């Protein structure tokens, strides 16, 4: 990776002043690539270097906040970001205000407070839009959270307006990630309005478009929305398939809040199909359990929350037919 090479070169050449900025860009790249543990590690390194050198890179807190929200570490968001928001407001740094609010809003949504999330994300969206920032990547891709929050509280017209904005801001509106998000929000709006056939077609198209997106979380979110709609239509087999794909995606990412939703949806459908194949993330956690580490120790080593480890273990137990850590350890360590 070019960023890692630049970091290594800066270290060799003794250009320490460049490292916090490079690590911040690395954290953002890992966030979008779905390597949340690596992103958290890079963000924490930025924060450590900033504290050592006095060269604090404030944007890293907004990226770290997104990573915390997506991995269910809401305490980190509540403890760290309010002060950063005040700093951005005092400095009249509107972009910092918008990005900080985007991370706070994501945490509010995923922690189950859609009403608060709408207010926070609307403020973030309007702040950045007032600066002429329409490129989703420059808005920390807050559209997914904002659209979902609006639909959750029934603000369907506002969600539809967000879709229109995503589709008309320029050539980049055809990029797979942006187009897929627009299709998903549109499909969820149509589903909420009762236009089930049209909603299904939109979500299925969104899923196809997301195959070409480099951001795996967004495809998982689309598969989740599609699975929920198919469950509503009582198409059990297809709903189960879509939901299992979403769960596998979220588990690989360590996206705990989404894992919880997908598992609950699978339970409502009637359970996941039996599949003994573990994802790479599940296998990594299982191996660490077998080595004798506790959930807390594993979470620290992988830079994720304890809830993420618990969710991955629950999925692992279900897939391979065990119920306890002892049974899992015995299965993994027995002679083959």
Over residues 149-180, the pLDDT tens digits come to 999 999 999 999 999 999 987 667 889 999 99
Residue ranges of the alpha helices (H) in 131-195? 143-152, 156-168, 176-192
Question: What are the tokens at 24?
Answer: 């911040």
pTM score, whole prediction: 0.80
* Residue 183 pLDDT: 97
Q: How far apart are CA 173 and CA 179, in angstroms?
A: 6
Q: How far apart are CA 295 and CA 230, in angstroms?
A: 35
Task: Give the residue-averaged pLDDT of 263-290.
Answer: 77
Residue 242: which pLDDT band, with cuts at 50, 70 and 90?
very high
Contacts of 300 (CB under 8 A, 6+ apart): none
Q: How far apart are CA 5 and CA 310, in angstroms?
A: 34
Residue 53: which pLDDT band, with cuts at 50, 70 and 90?
confident
The mean predicted confidence, pLDDT, of the chain is 88
Residue 323: which pLDDT band, with cuts at 50, 70 and 90?
confident
For the cut 90, the answer to whether the pLDDT of residue 304 exceeds it is no
Domains of the chain by start residue, with CATH = 1-57 (no CATH), 67-174 (1.25.40), 187-271 (1.25.40), 274-336 (1.10.10.10)
What's phi and psi for 296, nearest 5 deg?
A: -65, -40
Helix pair 306-320, 295-302: axis angle to 10 deg = 110
* Residue 276 pLDDT: 56
* Residue 22 pLDDT: 81
For the cut 80, the answer to whether the pLDDT of residue 3 exceeds it is no
């Amino acid at each position: 990776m070019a960023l890692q090479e630049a970091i290594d070169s800066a270290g060799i050449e003794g250009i320490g002043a460049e490292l916090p900025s490079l690590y911040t860009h690395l954290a953002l790249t890992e966030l979008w690539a779905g390597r949340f543990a690596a992103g958290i590690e890079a963000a924490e390194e930025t924060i450590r270097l900033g504290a050592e050198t006095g060269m604090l890179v404030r944007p890293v807190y907004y990226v770290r906040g997104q990573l915390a929200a997506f991995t269910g570490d809401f305490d980190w968001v509540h403890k760290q970001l309010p002060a950063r928001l005040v700093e951005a407001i005092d400095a009249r740094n509107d972009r910092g205000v918008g990005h900080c609010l985007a991370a706070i809003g994501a945490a509010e949504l995923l922690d189950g407070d859609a009403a608060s999330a709408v207010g926070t994300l609307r403020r973030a969206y309007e702040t950045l839009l007032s600066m002429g920032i329409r490129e989703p990547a420059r808005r920390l891709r807050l559209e997914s959270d904002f659209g979902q929050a609006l639909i959750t509280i029934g603000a369907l017209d506002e969600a539809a307006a967000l879709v229109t904005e995503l589709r008309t801001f320029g050539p980049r509106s055809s990029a797979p990630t942006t187009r897929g998000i627009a299709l998903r929000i549109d499909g969820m709006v149509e589903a909420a309005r009762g236009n089930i056939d049209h909603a299904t077609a939109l979500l299925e198209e969104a899923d196809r478009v997301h195959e070409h997106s480099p951001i795996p979380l967004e495809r998982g979110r689309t598969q989740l929305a599609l699975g929920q709609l198919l469950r509503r239509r009582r198409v059990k087999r297809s709903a189960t398939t879509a939901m299992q794909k979403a769960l596998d995606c979220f588990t690989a990412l360590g996206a705990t809040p989404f894992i919880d939703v997908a598992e609950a949806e699978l339970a409502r459908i009637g359970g996941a199909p039996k599949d003994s194949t573990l994802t790479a993330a599940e296998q990594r956690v299982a191996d660490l359990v077998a080595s004798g580490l506790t959930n807390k120790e594993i979470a620290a080593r992988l830079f994720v929350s304890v809830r993420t480890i618990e969710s991955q273990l629950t999925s692992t137990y279900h897939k391979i037919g065990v119920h306890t850590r002892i049974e899992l350890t015995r299965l993994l360590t027995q002679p083959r």
